[in-house]
Structure formats: C-alpha cells, structure tokens
Amino acid sequence: MTLRRIAGLLLVFVCSASFAQETSEKSEQPAKKSFRPDIPGSIMIELGINVSSGTRPANWSPGFWGSRTFNVYYQYPLRLFKSNVSLVPGIGLSLERWKMTNYYTLSPTANTDGTFPLVSANDLHQFATIKRSMIVNNYLEIPLELRYDTNPEDIARSLSVSIGGRVGVLYDSFTKLDYREFGENKSLKDKQWHGMNQFRYGIISRIGIGGFSMFGYFNLSPMFEAGKGPDMTTMSSMTFGISVSGF
C-alpha cells in the first residue's frame, strides 16, 4: 500500500468522524449561522532523532541529524469518569530515516545464509562519488497512551504526562544512494525488505504543556528479522524528539 493511499484512508476516517459528530450536534442543538469544521480528537506531529541500541553490526554508522523520524497521528482522547486521566488511542504514519555517515548501505542481494550485509556504496559504484546513503523504513502504526492532565477542563493550558505503547506494520522499505558519476548527479533506490522486521512494537512516554511536548520512543522489537540482518544483529532503536498537537 502506497503512502498516498494510506494518507487518503486517514483523511477519510477523520472526515467521517467529523461528519458523524456534526450530524449528532445538529440534531441536539439549534442551527448556527456560521459553519466551522469541528474535527473530534486531534492531529499530532512528531519530529525526532533516531538512536540505535543493542548489539550493532560492524560498519553501522548513522549520523545524528540525518537519522530522523517524522510521525503524524490522528488521536481521539477518551476521558475516564471525568477524572484527570484519559485513554488516548490513535492511528498514523511513522517515517523513519537512517543516514549512514560512512556511505555504507544494505546489500541489494542476500548472502547464502540469508543475511543482508552492510556493504560500501563505493564498492557498488566504483566510478562514482557518493554524496549520501540512506536506509528508509515507513510504518503504519496504532498508538495507545494513558495520559494524566493537571487541568483536563482546559487541555491547552494543562501540564500532561503520558505513557503507552505503539504497534506498527512496515509498509515501505528501501535504501537510497545519491552520487555523482561520469559528470552526472544520480539517485538510486533499492526498494525491498532487506531482511527488515515487518512488525514492531515499543513503549512511548511524553511530558508537555498544552499542545507541545517532548517524547521518547523505545522499540522493544529488533529492527531486522532473526537471522536476516547484517552480522545477524539484534539491534533495535530509540527515538527522542518533540511533538505538537491541536485540540
């Protein structure tokens, strides 16, 4: 499934929920002269830096700023019994990038043992000057958080703390090389799984005020399937960053 189709499904879901709420409110309240869309729940955007954890394979050298994640989620908070605690389910996309500073990349073909080794991009393109090497994983995810608000009646001015989990399915994965060869700038994508784990799960925690917060996400599942990653690695990852949401 392409990113465009998934984004379209999310848009249809949000619009359907908005239409259902608007129809319910019209049946209970007198008609208003002005129309203002009132989408239930909120859209949250996250920007984060990826950090590898666990046993790393040889030649795994991601850059700090170039290894980043962009997430977008639709969330629908459910306040529990008019308390300060809310259950916050959602759905969205996690777009993860790893920039290799040593210009290594995942081999386009597996070894005889089924593993995908890390190889130098210069060995794959001997007459090229490598400009950038990226490993990209995109996930469709379902987050579920338990959130505490100091002022649940006014979320925009409330201090909030939350903890929860996320499960995700890998729907797109590829390596990308940007290089210059024979006087021309070129870009090459190798779109395949490369032994990546197609299912992941982890723990999310955040703290913030109003629609702004800082978060940490800790993957509990390995990045590669057992026996398929470079050096049969059991490496996982963490992401730290900021998030912005509208209520």
Task: Report if residue 147 sits inside a domain.
Answer: yes
Residue 44 pLDDT > 90, yes or no? yes
**Do 119 and 14 lie in a common domain?**
no
What's the pLDDT tens digit per position in 222-235? 999 999 999 999 99
Query: Does residue 194 fall inside a structural domain?
Result: yes
Do residues 45 and 120 both lie within one domain?
yes
Is 10 inside a domain boundary? yes
- Residue 24 burial (10 A CB sphere; 0-12, 13-18, 19+): exposed
User: Do 120 and 155 lie in a common domain?
Assistant: yes
Residue 225 to residue 201: CA distance in whole angstroms: 13
Task: Read off the pLDDT of residues 73-120 as tens digits, 9 standing for 90 and up.
Answer: 999 999 999 999 999 999 999 999 999 999 999 999 999 999 999 999
Q: Are residues 141 and 83 in the same domain?
A: yes
Could you tell me the CATH number of the domain that includes residue 151? 2.40.160
pLDDT of 219 strictly over 50: yes
CB within 8 Å of 176: residues ≥ 6 apart: 132, 133, 134, 136, 187, 188, 189, 190
Question: What is the pLDDT at residue 246?
Answer: 79
* Residue 150, domain member (yes or no): yes
Helix (H, G, I), strand (E, B) or coil at 11: helix
How many domains does the structure of the chain reveal? Answer: 2
The answer to whether position 34 is within a domain reads: no
pTM for this predicted structure: 0.83
- Residue-number span of the structural domain to which 143 is assigned: 41-245
Instruction: Say which residue, 39 or 186, is predicted with more confidence.
Output: 186
136/20 same-domain check: no
Q: Please indicate, yes or no, whether residues 71 and 185 belong to a single structural domain of this protein.
A: yes
The reply to whether 127 and 95 lie within a common domain is: yes
Same-domain pairing of 16 and 50: no
**208 shares its domain with 237:** yes
Q: Does residue 33 fall inside a structural domain?
A: no
Q: Within this chain, do residues 47 and 23 fall inside the same structural domain, yes or no?
A: no
168-179: pLDDT as tens digits: 999 999 999 999
Mean pLDDT of the chain: 88
pLDDT given at position 9? 47
Do residue 9 and residue 83 come from a single domain?
Answer: no
83 belongs to a structural domain: yes
Q: Are residues 14 and 54 located together in one domain of the fold?
A: no
Relative to beta strand 85-99, strand 236-245 is unpaired
